[in-house]
Structure 1
Amino acid sequence: MNSIEKIIHENCVLLNVEAYDQHDILSQLSDALYKQGFVKDTFKHAVLEREAEFPTGLPLVSIGVAIPHTDAYHVARTGIGVAILKKPVEFSVMGSPDDKVHVSIILMLAMNDGKKQIELLQRLMEFFQKEEKLLVLKDMKNEKEIAAYLETEIF
């Protein structure tokens, strides 16, 4: 991963955002990534379809997170959209779609290289295991600060 290129742009960080459901927040994040030129116009539909078939909710000890993503074909350049929700929304659990988790933090991956996507997923799983870092993230009040924090912690 090239840490010189900014992957998390502050305009793709949705802070204290309200969403009615998973479809709503995935649409909002997709739109933010599209406006910044990270994804193609096909991305939103593709990520919604993939989430329905392969859910990405992760129930951690004190907080639920989700890492929605889709095929590299729908991505213009690598980026990550971040949403920290005002109130959690329900996602299906990764690997166990009948189970539900209330998600407060979403990191939407837009990766234009499948191999790097696997590497990023591994880094995210390591980050998620340090739950105190997630709680710090959840309490942050500034988009630029969140983008910088994640860039430092993940890359």
Structure 2
Amino acid sequence: MRISEYFNKELIVTNLDVKSKEEIFKVLFKKLYDNGFVKESFLDAIIKREKTFPTGLQLNTYNVAIPHTDPEHVIKPAIAIATLSKPVIFKNMANPLEEVNVSIVFMMALNEAHSQVEMLQQMVQLIQNDTLLEKIIEANGGDKIIDIIKNASFTLN
């Protein structure tokens, strides 16, 4: 299955102006919830998991965060995206004592535990491509981001 099938233009926010990761979580949760992808419990579960298992990733040019939580909070799988007008601080996944200034957030809502590993592998391929991330950050609107990701043609194993 292609990773692009998990993205939906209704679940994408570009140039989001917020000051905290919790604000980002609320915005993306509302999109996922209003479109029937997650249960009401999803937001609290994401916030709780982020405190214990941070999701900020220090990369080459653009840092990202990939918040996600347990499958029981998900109705159907999707990935919501927020590009940020200015970076927001997340704790580093590799070293929780470090902070990472994140520019793009990919919030994963997956309803099967085994699919998280496969999806994370696909996300790693996507986020390691600086050119692709730059195009996503510069895009205005969900349709454009969907096109960029579809044209990158990543597939799930």
Q: Which range, TM-score by smaller chain?
A: over 0.9
CA contact (8 A) 2:74 2:109 kept: yes
For 1:5-154, list aligned pairs within 5 A: 6-153=5-152, 154=154
Give the partner amino acid of 1:149: I
Match of 2:7, SS? coil
Question: Gaps (5+ residues) in structure 2?
Answer: none
Distance 1:104 1:117 in 2: 22
Cα deviation for residue 151 of structure 1 reads 4.0
Answer yes or no: is the 8 Å Cα contact 2:71–2:113 preserved in 1: yes
**Aligned-residue RMSD, C-alpha:** 1.6
Q: Provide the C-alpha distance between the structure 2 equivalents of 1:88 and 1:41, rounded to a whole number of angstroms.
A: 27
Q: 1:4 and 1:14 mapped to 2: Cα distance?
A: 18
State the aligned residue count. Answer: 154
- Using the TM superposition, give the Cα deviation of residue 149 of structure 1 relative to its aligned residue in structure 2, in angstroms: 2.3
SS in structure 1 at match of 2:82 = strand
For residue 12 of structure 1, give the secondary structure of its aligned residue in structure 2. Answer: strand
Cα separation, partners in 2 of 1:17 and 1:36, compared to 1, 3 Å: same
How many angstroms does 1:82 deviate by? 0.2
User: Runs of 5+ in structure 1 lacking a partner?
Assistant: none
Q: Name the % identity.
A: 34
Deviation (angstroms), 1:4: 10
1:6-37: CA deviation from partner (whole Å, max 9, x where unpaired): 42111110111111101111111111111111
SS state of the match for residue 47, structure 1?
helix
Output the CA distance in 2 between the equivalents of 1:28 and 1:38: 14
* Distance of 1:81 and 1:4 partners within structure 2: 12
Per-residue CA deviations over 1:32-81 (Å, capped at 9, x if unaligned) read 11111110000000001001110000011111100000000000000010
Distance of 2:87 and 2:142 partners within structure 1: 19
Superposition TM-score, scaled by structure 2 size? 0.92
Query: Which string of whole-angstrom CA distances, capped at 9 and with x for unpartnered residues, describes residues 83-128 of structure 1?
Result: 0011110000003111001001000000011111110100111112
Instruction: Measure, in 1, the Cα distance between the counterparts of 2:68 and 2:36.
Output: 16
